[in-house]
Structures are given as structure tokens and as C-alpha cells.
Amino acid sequence: MSAAPELGLGFPPRVNTAWQPVSACGPQCRPAGAQAVRAGTVVVRLAALFGVLLSALILVPLLRHVAARLISRGILAALGVGLVWRGPAPRPGSLLVANHVSWLDVVALLAVTPVRLVAKHDVRAWPAVGALAARTGSIFVDRTRPKRLPATVAEVTAALRAGRSVAVFPEGTTFCGAERGRFRPAVFQAAVDAGAPVVPIAIRYGSPQAAFVGDDTLWSSVRRVAGLRGLTVTLNGSAALRPEPGADRRALARAAQASAGLRSTTFDLAA
């Protein structure tokens, strides 16, 4: 699996279009010199992660969203990753929109609040992770079929109206954190249609080694994260934005990105 098998409305970078956004981030974004743990600690962490994922296949079907939160916290603990949440707790039925740096973003969000995720359809095939995503109610989107986008937005709208929070990464692909993409507006239409609050979240890591970019693979990223000493992921939640009926999704996307302090270099009107 190559880098940018990201969750959200994004696919691995191939063509710079509204449907397949490109990130220029790559290995150069991860400079050498990060503090590392001993090789034995890496082995112990990976073994603990394997145990957590096995337990997830048993617990999630039984406990659903409660299990998802416990399993996500277990994954972070197994890998030695600290988690910090700052800001007000999102109320149920909110659209959570965040920048996208790593596959760990998903784990961190699930660890702090009950939420359904918008995920690319390829995630279904991931070992263990795909089953976990499906069983926690992820909403899958196929970017190779643009005509399906309205149906996906309608599904997100229905979840919000039912009082379920939904999380999405509107950049559409992963960036290193120092570089960012723009928030693409399509999914913001769901918040407008449902009259749901939008909660912008800024995700930041204590080390650029956490970035899942370029030609990275999921396995190489997991091993690299397991080898880091003192890695912390911080989620900064901003005050909720409450769109008026008929609000423009493009303006809402820009406002959400600015509110989280995640301005990109450009804004355009695609998607």
C-alpha cells in the first residue's frame, strides 16, 4: 500500500484534479535525527499493536462505538504515542473537519470522540483495519466514480440528522503538516443540508516522522512510528461554525480552514 491511502475524500496522488488532489510532500519532509527507542522496544510495541488489532475483531462487533474508542486508545498506547485534546468537546451530530497528516489522524479522532469516518473505498480491503472501519460505520466513497459523490454527501447528511458525528479530511490527501492543502468543499454541503455544526480541528505531531507521505507504505510507517521516542499527537478543536440555511459550502470550507489556523496557499472552487 502506498502513502496517501488516506481517509477522507482523497486517493493516492496521480493527477492534480478536484477528484485526485496531489501533495508535494515526500521523504524530504522527514529529516533524520528523530529520537528513537531500542530495537527491542519496537518489537514489543509491534507485538502489542497486533494484539490490540486482534482484540478489535472480537470487541467491535459486540460494543461498536465504545469499542472503537477503546481500541483506538489501545493502538496509540501500544505504539507509545501520546494524545492531547484541546478545545470544547464536539456535540453529537457535528461535522468534524481536520487536516490530514497520517493514518494516525484517524486513530486519534476515534480515541477522543464517537464519530463515523468518511473513508476511501480501498480501506475495506486493508487487513484488520478495513474490518474495523466497516464495523464502526465508516462511510466509503469511490473517487473513481464522480457520479456517486451526491450519494455520499446524502449519506453524511443522514448521519448528521440522526445525531451522529462524522469526521472527514477535506484536503483529500496527506500533507506533512508544514505544507497543507485546501479544504475541498463538497462534504460541507452535508452540514448545510443537515443544519449541523462544523467543528474545525487542527492535527499536529511532535515529530515530522509521523507524516505518511510520498512513497511511504502503511507497514513502513507503522514501524517508523513504533520506533519513535515520545511522539505526541495534539488535536486542537476550534469553536463550532453554524452554517445558515442555504449557506455556500465553498465559503464554509474556507471559514473552517481559517478557523483552525490551517490556511493553504490557494483556494479554488472545485468540488
pLDDT tens, residue by residue, 156-189: 999 999 999 999 999 888 888 777 788 989 999 9
| 197 found inside a domain | yes
Whose CA is closest to 101, among 171, 174, 172?
174
Lowest mean pLDDT among 65-74, 97-106, 193-202, 256-265: 256-265
- Does residue 169 fall inside a structural domain? yes
- Report yes or no: 124 and 97 within 8 Å, Cβ to Cβ: no
pLDDT digits (tens, 9 = 90+) for 108-135: 998 999 999 998 777 777 666 666 677 7
Would you say residue 270 has pLDDT above 70?
no
Q: What is the structure's pLDDT at 245?
A: 92
What torsion do the CA atoms of 178, 111, 216, 48 make, to the nearest 10 degrees?
140
For residue 103, being part of any structural domain is answered with yes
DSSP state of 146: G
Q: How many folded domains does the chain comprise? A: 1
Q: d(Cα 34, Cα 55) in Å, to the nearest integer?
A: 31
**Contact assessment for residue 252 and residue 241, using Cβ atoms and an 8 Å cutoff:** yes
The residue behind cell 495534539 is 234
The answer to whether residue 158 is domain-embedded is yes
Is residue 257 over pLDDT 80?
Answer: yes
Give me the mean pLDDT over the 236-258 stretch. Answer: 95
Q: Who has greater pLDDT, 261 or 208? A: 208
∠ Cα 58 124 93 (to 5°): 80
Under 8 Å between Cβ of 195 and 44:
no
Question: Residue 27: phi, psi to the nearest 5?
Answer: -55, -30
227: in domain: yes
Give 1 or 38, the one with higher predicted confidence. 38
The reported pLDDT for the residue numbered 69 is 87
**Bridge partner residues of 217 (DSSP):** 2
265: in domain: no
More confident: 12 or 96: 96
Per-residue pLDDT at 138 exceeds 50: yes
Q: What is the pLDDT of residue 169?
A: 92
- Which range of residues forms the domain containing residue 50? 35-259
Tell me if 75 is assigned to some domain: yes
CATH of the domain at 169: 3.40.1130
Half-sphere exposure of 176 (CA within 13 A, CB side): 16
Q: What pLDDT band is residue 11 in, cutting at 50, 70 and 90?
A: very low
Say how far apart CA 119 and CA 124 lie, in whole Å. 9
Residue 3 placed within a domain: no
Instruction: Identify the pLDDT of residue 7.
Output: 42
Mean pLDDT in residue range 219-242: 95
